[in-house]
């Protein structure tokens, strides 16, 4: 799969490389005689830098599904929740919630799940509970984006920061067009995305399923 590096990753990658170089120089000044410990230390630094670079990768998926009346996965990860909840921030009624957990090994870019218009967007500062904690959906730092399609159906995508995740990046604003498969933001070292669906949506995934952002169909309206 062809990948590139997200622009949000340029500074962290430069910092990681620079810090790694300084540590290598410092280690050699303090311990000038090379040993197996030097090799292990270099390997560890290379692994850390590699993980930072890998985290900010963006897969180029040219065959994005763009089918009317379906909701695509907005993130890579694993389905960890599929339940009925009362969504209080925007809808104020009962919705079907699908939650996708993103490990540090997943791509952390998030995409619009369907075509339409952004009818609502709000960022909420908050805590950094672990992503599996049920309270993380409302208590953690999160960013809520609602997409309304041509038929008037609305889907809420909530980006949630976690214990490791400390920054949500999204420049989407209310009134902007939403195109299925186009980027809506990312969670730097992020953790979870919740999707709130209308009650008449037919769920196409199960807990434990792996999702591929902008390809996996979460739900449909037929």
Q: Is pLDDT of 130 > 60?
A: no
> What is the SS3 assignment for 41?
helix
Same domain membership, residue 49 and residue 104: no
Please check whether residues 27 and 116 belong to one and the same domain.
Answer: no
Same domain, 45 and 141: no
Here the CATH number for the domain that contains residue 156 is 2.70.70.10
pLDDT of residue 19: 92
Q: Do 14 and 118 fall into the same domain?
A: no
| Burial category of 197 from C-beta neighbours within 10 Å (exposed 0-12, middle 13-18, buried 19 and up) | buried
Active-site residue (options: 99, 103, 191, 220): 191
Q: Are residues 131 and 152 in the same domain?
A: yes
Higher pLDDT, 32 or 149: 149
Query: Do 27 and 76 belong to one domain?
Result: no
Is-catalytic flag, 220? no
Domain span holding position 27: 3-59
Contact between 58 and 109 under an 8 Å Cβ cutoff? The reply is: yes
pLDDT over threshold 80, residue 141: yes
Token pair 């430069």 is found at 14
Has residue 183 been placed in a domain? Answer: yes
CB 94 within 8 A of CB 83: no
- Mean pLDDT computed over 178-186: 90
Q: Which of 13, 38, 59 is the last residue of a domain?
A: 59
Q: How high does pLDDT run on average in the chain?
A: 86
pLDDT score for 60: 75
**Same-domain pairing of 157 and 100:** yes
Residue 99 has pLDDT above 90, yes or no: yes
The two tokens of residue 77 are: 């990860």
Q: What is the pTM of this model?
A: 0.78
């Amino acid at each position: 799969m062809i990948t590139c590096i997200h622009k949000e990753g340029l500074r962290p990658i430069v910092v990681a490389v620079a810090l790694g170089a300084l540590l290598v120089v410092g280690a050699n000044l303090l311990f000038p005689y090379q040993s197996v410990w030097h090799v292990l230390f270099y390997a560890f630094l290379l692994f850390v830098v590699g993980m930072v670079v890998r985290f900010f990768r963006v897969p180029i998926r040219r065959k994005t599904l763009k089918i009317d009346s379906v909701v695509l996965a907005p993130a890579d990860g694993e389905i960890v929740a599929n339940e009925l909840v009362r969504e209080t921030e925007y809808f104020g009624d009962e919705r079907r919630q699908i939650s996708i957990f993103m490990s540090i090994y997943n791509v952390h870019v998030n995409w619009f799940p369907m075509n339409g218009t952004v009818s609502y967007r709000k960022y909420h500062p908050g805590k950094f509970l672990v992503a599996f904690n049920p309270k993380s959906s409302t208590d953690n730092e999160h960013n809520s984006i609602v997409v309304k399609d041509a038929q008037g159906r609305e889907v809420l995508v909530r980006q949630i920061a976690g214990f490791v995740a400390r920054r949500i990046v999204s420049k989407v604003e209310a009134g902007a067009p939403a195109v299925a498969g186009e980027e809506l933001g990312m969670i730097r070292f992020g953790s979870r995305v919740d999707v709130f669906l209308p009650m008449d949506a037919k769920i196409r995934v199960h807990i434990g399923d792996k999702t591929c952002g902008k390809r996996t169909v979460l739900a449909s309206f037929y």
